[in-house]
């Protein structure tokens, strides 16, 4: 199990491969983001998207699935959940037929002052399409158990 003390900063890690299907894009948009340009190629053709693209929240959700699969594939991490995300940016449209992958890099870590049993982390997440173009980025805030609550960095 990886604890706070095991986290190394500035070591980018690549993971994930997710094929985006037209059926899934339309299914997600119908439920959660039924803006016409996510549902109709004709309407999307009149916007800068050009054709149906995935809801930004769908992209974030597909990335979450890759993150969860990646986290559970290794030795495991003593994670305590996430209080939130900063600077979520939808940089380029995600289209049906795209294949998404991710890179994550821990950029900050500190021990909690009030709760020495946990550490607070910031990691930068980048999602790419099959052309290597960045389609989405965010900074994830994380909480993780310390192995030694009395330790100092």
Interface with a copy of itself (CB under 8 A): 28, 31-35, 55-58, 60-62, 64-65, 68, 82-90
By beta-carbon proximity to a copy of itself, the closer residue of 67 and 106 is 67
- CA 13 and chain centroid, separation: 13
Nearer CB in complex with a copy of itself: 9/91: 91
Closest distance between a copy of itself and the C-beta of residue 33, in Å? 5
What is the number of other CB atoms lying within 10 angstroms of the CB of residue 5?
Answer: 15
93 or 129: CB nearest a copy of itself: 93
Give the residue carrying structure tokens 């890099």. Answer: 105
CA gap 106, 3 in Å, rounded: 13
Comparing CB distances to a copy of itself, the nearer of 11 and 62 is 62
Q: How far is the CB of 153 from a copy of itself (least distance, A)?
A: 25
Q: Which class for 72: exposed (0-12), middle (13-18), buried (19 or more C-beta within 10 A)?
A: exposed
**CA nearest to 68, candidates 102, 98, 94:** 102
Q: How far is the CB of 110 from a copy of itself (least distance, A)?
A: 19
Minimum Å gap between C-beta 24 and a copy of itself is: 9
Min dist CB 74 to a copy of itself, Å, is 15
Pick between residue 11 and residue 118 the one whose CB is nearest to a copy of itself. 118
Strand, coil or helix: what is 153?
A: coil
Q: Are strands 13-19 and 99-111 parallel, antiparallel or unpaired?
A: antiparallel
Structure tokens at 128: 């790419």
């Amino acid at each position: 199990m990886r604890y706070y003390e095991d986290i190394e900063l500035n070591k980018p890690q690549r993971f994930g491969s997710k094929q985006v299907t037209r059926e899934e894009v339309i299914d997600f948009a119908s439920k959660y983001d039924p803006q016409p340009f996510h549902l109709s190629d004709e309407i999307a053709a009149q916007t800068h998207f050009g054709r149906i693209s995935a809801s930004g929240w769908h992209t974030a959700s597909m990335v979450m699935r890759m993150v969860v699969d990646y986290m559970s594939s290794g030795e495991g991490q003593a994670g305590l959940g996430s209080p939130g995300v900063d600077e979520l940016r939808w940089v380029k449209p995600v289209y049906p037929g795209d294949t998404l992958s991710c890179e994550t890099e821990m950029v900050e870590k500190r021990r909690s002052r009030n709760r020495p049993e946990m550490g607070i982390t910031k990691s930068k997440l980048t999602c790419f399409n099959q052309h290597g173009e960045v389609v989405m980025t965010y900074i994830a805030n994380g909480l993780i158990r310390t192995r030694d609550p009395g330790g100092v960095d």
